[in-house]
Amino acid sequence: MLQGMEYREWINSKLEINKELLYLTRQDVLDLNLTDDEITEMTKEGMVAYSTDNAEMPAKIGIHPLKDTLMHAMPANMKTLSSAGIKWGCCFPDNMPRFGYTQTTCTLILNDYQSGSAISFMDADYITRVRTAAVALLSCKVFARQDFKTMGMIGCGVQGKQQVSMVARAYPQIEKIYIYDRFEAAQDALIEECKQYTNAEFIKCGWEELARNSEVIFSAAYIPSVPNPQIKDEWLPKKGQTIIASDCHTHYEDVSIKAADKYYCDSIEEHELFVTYGMYPWGLPPITGETGAALAGVVPGRENDDEFIFVNNVGMAVEDIVVARKIFDTALERGVGTKMPL
């Protein structure tokens, strides 16, 4: 990818910086049809850059208008890509029953790296969905046993669908997929959409059956203001099991989390800030390292088949910015989107 002034000159040949920006609707972004491999590659680059001091990203701050809701400001500077911007990420768990659309809604601004001028405003629902699924898949590659045949998915909305589809395509040996959601219609919709990607059997179930039978457990549920553990410690086999959460491990008892042989997270700084928000009332367990550091080989991932590994990736702005850079560049190249005056 181009960097520095060379990148700015390329942008300016297609978009007059500081006089117009590229507006990308939700459909514009979807129409670009980026591949899983492209998304995963860019997401990995962002995670590794953050954990090796090649990116600048403060811990996300936010506001919480209603109970169990959040609106987070997520800026990031990808030094290795000459790319910077900010995502405004919102999660309102009752959106679907109240208004008929997804609980997570996001928008993103990209800025010219040399002058700071806004160069793009885009819908970021897709970015959030695919980069979160890519983080789950990348975590699976370094922390899970690679011969696993059963997986569990907590949360069957758009995010759950994306995670199941990406993981199932990457691991065709999976035989059973246990799924839980508070809405049965969401479970049915996930099965209908994801069955094309796998020959695995889908099993709609409760918390206990999922916990006892899944070698790898993923989650894509909302983050409540106070953790509400639903999975009892005695249900988890632990030996060789991998838990890859994206929701502040809210579903698990503290004893389970602290029983892990290794505990990883995407950003130590962000997790320490979340402690002050009350999201980890029992405190954080000892952290083995960041997921990006494991991907970079700076810290070890899984080292034997018996380890019980807990991973908690709550999402980072560097992931959004690298994927947004790919979307922006591709849209400019293909003439997708609307140029709007500043």
Burial of 88 (0-12, 13-18, 19+ CB in 10 A): middle
The pLDDT value given to residue 112: 98
Judge if 116 and 231 occupy the same domain.
Answer: no
User: How many separate domains does the chain show?
Assistant: 2
Q: Assign residue 83 the CATH number of its domain.
A: 3.30.1780.10
Q: Assign residue 271 the CATH number of its domain.
A: 3.40.50.720
The pLDDT value given to residue 75: 98
Judge if 74 and 189 occupy the same domain.
Answer: no
Count the neighbouring beta carbons within 10 Å of the beta carbon of residue 42.
25
Query: How confident is the model over 112-121, as a mean pLDDT?
Result: 98
Judge if 224 and 136 occupy the same domain.
Answer: yes
Report d(CA 90, CA 69) in Å as an integer: 8
Residue carrying the six token digits 């989650």: 219
Query: How confident is the model over 312-318, as a mean pLDDT?
Result: 95
Query: How confident is the model over 245-255, as a mean pLDDT?
Result: 83
The pLDDT value given to residue 243: 97
Q: What is the DSSP pairing of strand 104-111 with strand 118-123?
A: antiparallel
Report d(CA 103, CA 95) in Å as an integer: 5
Answering whether pTM is above 0.85, one says yes
Buried b (16+ CB within 10 A) or exposed e, 47-62: bbbbbeebbebebbee
The pLDDT value given to residue 168: 97
Judge if 79 and 45 occupy the same domain.
Answer: yes
Report d(CA 261, CA 241) in Å as an integer: 10
Judge if 153 and 227 occupy the same domain.
Answer: yes
Nearest to 89 by CA among 106, 102, 65: 106
Report d(CA 110, CA 18) in Å as an integer: 12
Judge if 138 and 267 occupy the same domain.
Answer: yes
Judge if 207 and 64 occupy the same domain.
Answer: no
Judge if 124 and 173 occupy the same domain.
Answer: no
Judge if 119 and 153 occupy the same domain.
Answer: no
Q: What is the mean pLDDT of the chain?
A: 95
The pLDDT value given to residue 228: 78
pLDDT digits (tens, 9 = 90+) for 125-155: 999 999 999 999 999 999 999 999 999 999 9
Instruction: Answer whether residue 309 shows pLDDT above 90.
Output: yes
| Helix and strand element counts for the chain (H, E) | 12, 16
The pLDDT value given to residue 283: 83
Judge if 269 and 154 occupy the same domain.
Answer: yes
Name the phi and psi angles at 144, rounded to 5. -95, 155
Q: Provide the domain limits for residue 168.
A: 130-315
Range from 5-14, 133-142, 208-217, 221-230 carrying the lowest mean pLDDT: 221-230
Name the phi and psi angles at 56, rounded to 5. -115, 120
3-state secondary structure of 265: strand
Cβ–Cβ under 8 Å, residues 102 and 91: no
Token couple for 233: 């410690």
Judge if 187 and 110 occupy the same domain.
Answer: no
Where are any strands of DSSP class E within 41-157?
Answer: 55-56, 61-63, 70-78, 83-91, 104-111, 118-123, 150-154
Query: How confident is the model over 240-252, as a mean pLDDT?
Result: 88
3-state secondary structure of 299: coil
